[in-house]
């Protein structure tokens, strides 16, 4: 389970909650320019643009959960359960394994417009990284400061949807979320007028009553509504600290607390980490479930023409400031 978010307030920000019942040995990974990706289709891909994001690194290969490139284009994969697995490779198409998808798009595209062109000939197939690392069924959100799209796969190829909300969660498919949000068009940040009856005066008893009915549970449909409502009504100053704090506040509103979501195998889903990337400046901010403090890695403070991956282990230990 996950929630992805894009937000522009002077600078452009992209990030997500990653909700799982386990850690996947994630680290902040920077892929420099011209890094060699040996694709499963037999070809070799060298990225034009450097990337920063959260990844599991196996044998010097960054398996990204999400990333942003040096041009400000962001992409994230979100769990998409209960859907058919990826199809077999298809002759005549540009076959790409899902684990290659994020670096393949971000490595060569500087905008959503360019990504649309690359996606036209792309086929996401069912070839895993290895026998020990099977594929997880995902759908994807891609965003820049001007537009946002969602990509979902089918047996007939990729489905591409415009995303006017800049928010994405999980199953059901994206068209469902576009329809479901219509049920909440009455919500307001202001206290609403009394429509209960014309002959009786019913007064509000507190602030925020215009948003009664805003979902608060952990389901993907509810998280989509709540994150969209908070994002579309977000107001904060344009300085960096205010934007980063605001972004994390929105993600915090839909995070999973240990014990609140029990999986079918009797484990607990939690928000293992949250990230906010200033895509305009290449700064990757994150916090983990156990460490609420914000850590940051700046893409542009590294040698982006280096020959090897640059990896930063996560700060997972909570640090408390005592005042007495």
How far apart, in whole angstroms, are the C-alpha atoms of residue 317 and residue 293? 9
What is the Rg, in whole angstroms, of the alpha carbon atoms belonging to the chain? 21
**Greatest CA separation found in the chain?**
75
Three-state secondary structure string covering the chain: CEEEEEEEECEEEEEEEEEECCCCCCEEEEECCCCEEECCCCCEEECCCCEEEEEEEECCEEEEEEEEECCCCEEEEEECCCCCCCCCCCCCCEEECHHHHHHHHHCCCCCHHHHHHHHCCEEECCCCCECCECCCCEEEEEECCCCEEEEEEECCEEEEEECCCCEECCCCCHHHHHHHHHHHCCCCCCCCCCCCCCCCCCCCCCCCHHHCCCCCCCCHHHHHHHHHHHHHCCCCCCCHHHHHHHHHHHHHCCCCCCCCCECCCCCECEEEEEEEEECCCCEEEEEECCCCCCEEEEHHHCCCCCCCCEEECCCCCCCCCCCC
Query: What amino acid positions are annotated as catalytic residues?
Result: 2
Give residue for tokens 């971000």: 106
Q: What residues form DSSP beta bridges with 177?
A: none
Angle at 35 between CA 131 and CA 41, to 5 degrees: 45
């Amino acid at each position: 389970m996950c929630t992805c978010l894009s937000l522009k307030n002077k600078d452009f920000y992209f990030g997500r909650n990653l909700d799982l019942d386990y850690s996947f040995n994630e680290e902040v990974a920077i892929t420099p320019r011209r890094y060699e990706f040996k694709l499963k289709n037999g070809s070799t891909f060298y990225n034009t643009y450097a990337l920063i994001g959260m990844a599991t690194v196996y044998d010097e290969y960054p398996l990204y959960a999400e990333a942003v490139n040096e041009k400000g284009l962001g992409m994230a994969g979100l769990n998409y359960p209960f859907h058919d697995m990826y199809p077999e490779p298809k002759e005549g198409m540009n076959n790409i394994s899902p684990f290659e998808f994020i670096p393949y798009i971000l490595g060569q595209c500087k905008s959503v417009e360019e990504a649309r062109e690359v996606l036209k000939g792309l086929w996401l197939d069912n070839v895993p990284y290895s026998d020990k690392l099977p594929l997880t069924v995902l759908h994807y959100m891609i965003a820049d400061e001007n537009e946002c799209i969602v990509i979902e796969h089918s047996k007939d190829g990729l489905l591409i949807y415009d995303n006017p909300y800049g928010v994405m969660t999980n199953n059901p498919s994206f068209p469902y979320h576009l329809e479901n949000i219509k049920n909440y068009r009455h919500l307001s940040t202001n206290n609403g007028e009394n429509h209960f009856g014309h002959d009786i005066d019913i007064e509000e008893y507190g602030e925020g009553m215009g948003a009664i009915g805003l979902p608060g549970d952990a389901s993907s449909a509810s998280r989509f509504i709540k994150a969209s409502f908070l994002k579309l009504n977000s107001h904060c100053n344009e300085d960096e600290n205010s934007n980063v704090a605001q972004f994390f506040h929105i993600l915090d509103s839909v995070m999973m607390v240990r014990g609140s979501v029990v999986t079918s195998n009797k484990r607990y889903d939690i928000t293992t980490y949250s990230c906010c990337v200033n895509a305009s400046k290449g700064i990757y901010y994150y916090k983990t479930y156990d460490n609420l403090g914000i850590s940051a890695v700046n893409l542009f403070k590294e040698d982006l023409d280096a020959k090897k991956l640059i990896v930063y282990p996560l700060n997972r230990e909570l640090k408390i400031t005592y005042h007495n």
